[in-house]
Amino acid sequence: MSPARPLWTSTATELIALLRSGELSATDLTRSLLDRIEEVEGDVRAFITLTPEVALAKAKAVDDARARGEDPGPIAGVPVAVKDIIATRGVRTTAGSKILHNYVPPYSATVADRLEAAGLPMLGKTNLDEFAMGSSTENSAWVPTHNPWDLDRVPGGSSGGSAAAVAAGEAPWSIGTDTGGSIRQPASLSGVVGLKPTYGLVSRSGLIAFASSLDQAGPFARTVADVALLLGVMAGHDPRDATSLPNPVPDYSAGLAGGVKGLRIGVVSQLMGEGVQSGVRTRIEESIALLTKLGAEVGEVSLPTFDLGIDVYYLIAPAEASANLARFDGVRYGLRVDAEDIVKMNSRTRAEGFGAEVKRRIMLGTYALSAGYYDAYYGKAQKVRTLIIRDFARAYENYDVLLSPTSPTTAFGIGEKTQDPLTMYLSDVCTVPTSLAGATAISIPCGVAPEDGLPVGLQLMGKALDEATILRAAYALEQELGPMPHPLLWGEPS
């Protein structure tokens, strides 16, 4: 790395090399990133809570360990940003909601504990759509996050703060969560890499629940190699999570350079047609040509039930949300609006504490679960979910990886879709099917759309627990594509 190049422009892998060689201290790196946050955060608004003291204390502990001749860990000292739906002991955790505006957990999520054990200083808690319900980070109770490529546009959602922090150079990598596309879609719109792990690969213990059969935490970074490193830290069995898988965690970095020669890649026809922006389609088609050039066997695959993915998701996810959010009642923690009796207290607390989108989804979910409608709506949605899983299984008989755009469009304007919830929901049309199947997928930037100069994301979907294959394919394509243009907010780094 050139001495004149700002540290915030570096990838996590580059920073790890500098830290381990002794050319850079964790404290100096953390201070540099805190300076970058101070410089641009007023424009981006990626964070809800900044934790400079926490970050610097952890960085000093890493430096002290190295000074004693100890090895604090292979990636220790590289700061991270954490989505504010992941519980952090002693640090405010709001889920982007007024109902948790002053909540400080007495415990940490398993994911947060694993980041701490790996020696990663936490820069702060990132902004999100309230309770992860949204596709633009405009549903946050605090402020909307702005896209570093164009500050008048959204960064995607619900993990928009985590994606924007990486895109803006405020953090080299970050943690988000993905329920129906909330890692992949903001990765696409913000021009970074984001991976949704297989359901159960990463513990949900301490993750504030939206939809329990769908939620998964996963990594953002600027490169596939960085995502592979961070996933290795996060993944693994956790006895505190009954849905946590007992499978051993492979070294996701080991096979990255294996190439795609002979890999069978299926392009999903249902996700390449009507509604896909022309510039998005252009960049995806160019990427398909590159994969063919690299030796992949590319074909087209039809998955008819994918057309039903949004319908199914917006019955199942709100139904689970209506049950999960019943715990926010003003009795045990969070906001409490007093009244003359407990029923009115519950009602007033929830009316004041929840935003419009959360209320909408609670009502949708409660209706779908109500007597007389359960079988017609929620029960039928679960049956169609099974059909989607079967469609995937049939596709993977002939293909190793499936391919589509991550988002049908590039980043849209702030305020452009807030008055039309259905249009907003359709932003996740490409990402929802994999979530319903409980499998894995990654989004990588594959250039910018010619009509607006904004980043385009390509999605690679894999079988459950086959993160290694999609990472290998993503890495090969990333190397062939070469460096992405920089966001507008980067300016011209000296």
Catalytic residues: 83, 158, 182
Burial class (CB in 10 A: 0-12, 13-18, 19+), 175: buried
Residue recorded with tokens 């039928």: 380
Secondary structure class of 458 (helix, strand, coil): strand
Q: Which residues make Cβ contacts (< 8 Å) with residue 70, sequence separation at least 6? A: none
For 161, 198, 210, 213, 317, the CA distances from 376, given in Å and listed in that order, are: 37, 29, 23, 20, 16
For 43, 257, 406, 451, the CA distances from 264, given in Å and listed in that order, are: 43, 17, 19, 31
- The contacts found for 252-258 with CB under 8 angstroms, 24 or more apart, are 252/228, 252/467, 252/468, 252/471, 253/225, 253/228, 253/229, 255/468, 255/471, 255/472, 256/224, 256/225, 256/228, 256/471, 256/472, 256/475, 257/475, 258/472, 258/476
Backbone angles phi, psi at 138, to 5 degrees: -90, -15
For 90, 122, 231, 234, 415, the CA distances from 238, given in Å and listed in that order, are: 22, 22, 15, 11, 40
Residue recorded with tokens 């690679």: 460
Backbone angles phi, psi at 55, to 5 degrees: -65, -45
Q: Which residues make Cβ contacts (< 8 Å) with residue 113, sequence separation at least 6? A: none
Count of positions (residues) in the chain = 494
The backbone region for 334, taken as left when phi is positive above 0, alpha when psi lies in -120 to 50, beta otherwise, is left
- Side-chain half-sphere exposure of 152, counting CA atoms within 13 A: 3
CA distance 157 to 233: 24
Helix/strand/coil percent split, the chain, to 5: 45, 15, 40
Burial class (CB in 10 A: 0-12, 13-18, 19+), 61: middle
Residue recorded with tokens 């059909």: 387
CA distance 100 to 118: 28
Q: Under a CB-based contact definition with an 8 Å cutoff, are residues 458 and 281 in contact? A: no
